[in-house]
Homo-oligomer: A and B are copies of this chain.
Amino acid sequence: MSRFLTLVPVEKAVSIAVSIVAPVPDEAIPLDQAWGRVLAGSTISDIDIPGFTRSTVDGYAVRASDTTGASDAIPAILRCTGSVLMGSPSDRNVIPDTCIYVPTGAMIPDGADAVAMIEYCEPAGEEILVKRPLARGENLVRQGEDFSTGAIVLEPGRRIGGQEMGVLAATGSKTVRVRRQPVVGIISSGNEVVGVDEVPGPAQVRDANSYLCAGFVREYGMLPRMFGVCRDNEESLGPAIRAAVQECDAVLLSGGSSKDERDLTARMIAGIGEVLVHGIALAPGKPTIIGRAGAVPLIGLPGHPASAFVVLHAVAGPMFTVLSGADAPRKKTLLGVLAESIPSARGREDYVRVRVEGSQVYPVFGKSGLLNTLVRSDGLVRIPSASEGVETGETVEVVLW
């Protein structure tokens, strides 16, 4: 291994990370368990929605032409011939100069083409005084106006949230084909690393990275599987990597900030597969490794937790999006105005932690090894490699944690 890394631009590293994964297989699950999952195929509506022309207000179904010119002073006078019950069709039609009461959501009787809101009507014996003119189609939704039979409702890759669950229920998808939840193996390594339940001795630190990775994996709707802390030698790391590759859809290795540790991780990956990237022009996050063993991608993260977290967002996130079969990244972004200039070196992408207050974006400067910058910030701003920085007042995009 050479003394210095051959740095790959972030864009190229991401395109490599994305090219070595395919979406996980799909499975059918009940709709009530589908929240957070990713649709594997298009869904179509098995019916017209609504299945009938439907009132959107409480009021009187009328022929719009009967209300032409109606006003408070000169209302239209319509004979009320009955009312429609919720969930039942009307047993009579609206004929000229008559109306029928319809509650919100009820089926419009034949002959009617608009609904007069009850707020603009006044009963007078058997007659209803309608005090506003109505346009055809006013206050109703036509059969099939929302979705028509056979229409595509949602496309594959869609992540299922509350609104998707509602739409899938309405369109008859009581089971849905979704991508299986990817399982992501997590291995921490380092002679200085001890478990969370231990008290670190001199020169030792606790394993923060396994938990950082596990949380990130959960944020992508995937399942973390922790393989514990390994020492920096083949005897300890080898079995863990082989087990993780065997059992998981992707593997995150963390630790290995120093050159010797990185080289060991790279050698171990090369031993069972292939190292594709060793070093990215990214700060923090330079000592990142991307490799694969058969169909299983592996990412070697830097040891510093805050650097590891940047690489998770910049490189692992796009890979996990493809692995999950999703059509869009999990992370939300927003635009804001930079409140303080951020200098940057050309030739590498800088990711700066920021705090967002209203439309203002404040850089949270701090050494990349400090954990406290992660919990004091809301997300990251990317400074492109061709740039020497971003000035106060410029608009920047923030990737939210």
A residues near B (Cβ < 8 Å) are 3-4, 31-32, 35-36, 46-47, 49-52, 54, 56, 58, 84-89, 103-107, 118-119, 141, 145-147, 153-154, 158, 160-174, 190-193, 196-197, 199-200, 202-216, 218-219, 226, 232, 257-261, 303-305, 309, 312, 332-336, 358-359, 367-372, 374-375, 395, 400-401
Contacts and interface: CB of A to CB of B under 8 A. Distances in A.
Given A86-B232, A197-B174, A375 B205 contact: no
Given A86-B190, A165-B212, A167-B372, 12 more contacts: A87-B204, A105-B258, A106-B192, A145-B370, A162-B212, A162-B309, A166-B209, A167-B374, A167-B375, A169-B208, A169-B211, A170-B305
How many copies, total? 2
Contact of A332 (B85, B358, B400): B400
Contact of A367 (B35, B56, B232, B309): B56
B215 A170 contact: no
A349 B36 CA distance: 30
B199 A46 contact: yes
A152 B190 CA distance: 27
Given A199-B172, A305-B170, A257 B369 contact: no
Contact of A162 (B192, B218, B368): B218
Contact of A304 (B46, B105, B202, B207): B105
A303 B58 CA distance: 12
Contacts of A168: 211
Contact of A401 (B158, B161, B369, B395): B161
A211 B305 contact: no
A328 to B, nearest CB: 11
Nearest to A400: B332
Given A103-B259, A202-B89, A305 B166 contact: yes
Q: Name the residue among A86, A165, A257 with the largest chain B CB count within 10 angstroms.
A: A86
Nearest to A153: B375
Contacts of A51: 200, 202-205
Contacts of A56: 304, 367-369
